[in-house]
A and B are shown apart, each in its own frame.
Chain A
């Protein structure tokens, strides 16, 4: 079977049931084991006590979208409202990695809303960088 290289254009990012592929220029999910090294008389051993993760996203600012509210199609407004009203309530995010025709590995997880930084340079298309904390133990991978 031919090797299929995945590119960033094969990514699909969904947050709170709204897909933001047309707004997002980069999405990276990083999950790490929090591993402790235990030194004993009999030698070194390792114990993973938890996992931590972040979702780093580069977005085009879409504040001028007409929708409002926490389920709006403006991800910036939706995140701002959620970070204001329910910062400790996680929201579901889905990251699909793969072409539309192949088997698509899908990662579903919960992230906590953050305030998107606002503004930018005069001659630039406005972008914003977000780093979401992934809720502990929430990453579920399917078709992997």
Chain B
């Protein structure tokens, strides 16, 4: 499976949360949503051959910042659905401390998580 196919399939699987999923950074991102972007490192070659690739992604989970309690509850609900939708074989890292980010005119509560998945060149 190619790199692009892997990213698209991961995004498609995350759509199982019922939330909007962007497989790339978009100019407008209505919340609640999940944004899947290349992580750091993005691609590494873990084996002696060059066919197997380890792809790293950063998923950002975003909910509207309404008030502290409601937004945190919404974010926790999104995290739970995210974990349920994450396909088998995906290595899930740690969720970062929720933080307030301004996306355009909207304040959103976000958390980031690193995902790693194994793929092949083609």
Contact = CB atoms under 8 A, between A and B. Distances in A.
Interface string B34-51: 000000000001111111
User: Which of B45, B93, B116 has most A Cβ within 10 Å?
Assistant: B45
User: Which of B46, B48, B49, B120 has most A Cβ within 10 Å?
Assistant: B48
B48 A13 contact: yes
A91 interface: no
B91 interface: yes
A27 B47 CA distance: 10
A12 B49 contact: yes
Interface in B43-72: 45-52
Nearest to B51: A22
A125 B116 contact: yes
Interface string B64-94: 0000000000000000000000000001110
Contacts of B92: 123
A43 to B, nearest CB: 46
A44 B52 CA distance: 52
B59 to A, nearest CB: 16
Contacts of A12: 48-49
A9 B44 CA distance: 12
A60 B46 contact: yes
Interface string A9-27: 1111100000001111111
Interface in A21-45: 21-27
Contacts of A26: 48
A25 B48 CA distance: 5
Nearest to B52: A22
Contacts of B120: 22
Interface string B87-122: 000011100000000000000000000001010100
Nearest to A9: B50
Given A13-B48, A22-B51, A22-B120, 5 more contacts: A9-B49, A9-B50, A21-B49, A125-B91, A125-B118
Interface of A: 8-13, 21-27, 60, 123, 125
